[in-house]
A and B are shown apart, each in its own frame.
Chain A
Amino acid sequence: MKLSHLLAALPLAAIYSGGLIAEHVPFLLAWNALWAILTSVIMAVMFHHDGSSIE
């Protein structure tokens, strides 16, 4: 599995678990906003890492 696939799984898992966490602790506003930032950061790392994958 490529590093970028592993990295991409992080925001996916985090955002989906946000709703579950919210039921046991606005939390969702803060959580989703945090992961909006982190998703861009993670994708920037992926972009840097995959730079050569894209004449």
Chain B
Amino acid sequence: MSSALLVIGFFLAFALFVGIRAKGGRTMNLEQWSVGGRGFGTVLVFLLMAGESFSTTIFLGASGWAYSKGPPVFYILAYGCLAYLLGYWILPAVWRYATAHKLVSFSDFFASKYDSRSLGVLVSLVAVLGMASLLIIQLRGLGIIVSEASYGSISQPMAVWGGALAMISYILISGIHGSASIAIFKDILIVSLAVFLGVYLPLHYYGSYGAMFQAIEAARPGFMQMPAEGLNLSWYNSTILLTMLGYFLYPHVFISVYSATSAKAVRRNAVVMPIYQLVIAFMFLVGFAAILKVPGLQGADSDLALLRLAKATFDPWFIGVIGGAGILTALVPGSTILLSASTLIAKNVYQQGFAPHATERQITLIAKCVLPLFGLLAVYFVLRGGATFVALALFASSLLTQLFPSFFFSLLPRRFGNKYAAFAGIFAGGAVLGAITLSGKGLAAWLPGWPVAVQSLNAGLVALAVNLAVFVVVGTLTHRRPMLPTAQALSS
């Protein structure tokens, strides 16, 4: 056990060292701190994007959902591929616009496109709420991984505090350079580990993949079929569509595009990323291998499937390596979320909402003050407990996807829509999503008597449809008001 603890301690110290050293001799102005001075090549942008593709949602959640839900988990593999297919056209357009207008935060894009500082504030509030859910996932995952991998000698709260403080420390000093530097080591380690676990564990326990799935089918007949109700085909397809559309509206993924050195670097990434999603399939295989070997994990505990199976199989030092890899998968996306959230609160809420004449130096200072506060708030919610990783991720995705109509229409060559349509659409979609989520009931309770295929749709997609309809109606009714402008919002 002490060997696991030593290895985990080494990984955390190493990450902190690499993250802080990444500052180098750079002067950290706002652009350098938040988007790396727009100087990241194909590899660094890839690593930042891969950070989101392979966060603790995947490390624990993908294997956990394979363990508890079966085939519905395959939506994760599908939406990543399709999101990057969409990104092939969208991401270069975002990069070109962001570079031309020197944008540094996620909300800058909307505020500039629609020439509306107040829209920037609204988008910031939606984004902060979505990112808070995503940060909670990373910190909670980090706590579980460290606590489990240290055989309980480090408690979950202690691990969460340690991880959050490490994250805050290096991101305050090095900004996005810290995340990118750690991502280099994280990706090499996590890909090797995922492939090893996904191959070794099923073969070790069952002899072959075929034997594993046949054993599951024999023990739990029908488990490998898509369910007829609930997480059925209708849910599967609607969730792929929702998460695919919302993928690039994760603010920390969005600003990793800003950091690229060229549109070509961004597009190259879009080409490579679908094949990278295959790593996730190995996590599914670990979850399936755990079904018959560590039975009985219920609810949120199903996220422990990978760690419990690994602990039953490997020596403590190797569990320490798995724990160390888990720390890195939480630190990279967690720190970019912190960076993105603090930048948009400082720039789009503080400056555009309250202090339009604030200098860049003041905005940077506000961002660096907000960053630890946002992190501590996330720690508070982590320690309160909650839903499974995938459930939290789906909520964040549903919320952030409500920005898609405004985002999409702003990219069209023949522009349609204005700030009134954007406001109305986001409010309508957010209200529908909020009502369904807060009621705690599925769509079936809201649409009694409707076909199962409709009742099983992802609620976020229904909210998105309402959002889109409202955007089009309001955009049409107000089309004589100022259309999308020449983007003076930020410079004013």
**A residues at B contact (CB < 8 Å):** 4, 8, 11-12, 15-16, 18-20, 22-23, 26, 28-29, 32-33, 35-37, 39-40, 43-44, 46-47, 54
Contacts and interface: CB of A to CB of B under 8 A. Distances in A.
Contacts of A32: 74, 77-78, 81, 281
A48 B301 CA distance: 46
Closest 7 A-B residue pairs measured CB to CB?
A40-B275, A39-B274, A32-B77, A43-B271, A28-B74, A40-B274, A39-B81
A43 B226 contact: no
B70 to A, nearest CB: 8
Contacts of B415: none
A19 B213 contact: no
Contacts of B61: none
Contacts of B71: 22, 26, 28-29
Contacts of B78: 15, 18, 32, 35
Interface of B: 71, 74, 77-78, 80-82, 84-85, 88, 92, 213, 224, 226, 233, 236-237, 240, 262-264, 267-268, 270-275, 277-278, 281, 284
Contacts of A37: 274-275, 278
Contacts of A43: 84-85, 88, 270-271, 274
Say what secondary structure dominates the interface of chain A: helix
11 contacts: A8-B85, A15-B78, A16-B240, A18-B78, A19-B226, A22-B233, A29-B77, A33-B77, A37-B278, A46-B88, A54-B92
Nearest to A31: B74
Given A20-B233, A23-B233, A54-B92, A35 B85 contact: no
Contacts of A39: 81-82, 84-85, 274-275
A22 to B, nearest CB: 6
A19 B227 CA distance: 12
Nearest to A22: B226
Given A23-B233, A26-B71, A40-B275, A35 B268 contact: no
B213 A26 contact: yes
A44 B284 CA distance: 27
Contacts, number: 88
Contact of B264 (A26, A46, A54): A54
A1 to B, nearest CB: 14
A11 B271 CA distance: 13
A6 B270 CA distance: 17
Contacts of A29: 71, 74, 77, 281, 284
Nearest to B273: A40
A12 to B, nearest CB: 6
B82 A19 contact: no
A12 B82 contact: yes
Contacts of A16: 237, 240
A43 to B, nearest CB: 4
Contacts of A4: 88
Given A16-B240, A43-B85, A36 B226 contact: no
B271 A40 contact: yes
Nearest to B272: A40
A34 to B, nearest CB: 10
Nearest to A37: B275
A23 B237 contact: no
Contacts of A44: 271
Contact of B274 (A20, A22, A36, A54): A36
A54 to B, nearest CB: 5
B81 A19 contact: no
A19 B236 contact: yes
Nearest to B233: A19
A11 B82 contact: yes
Contact of B271 (A20, A47, A54): A47
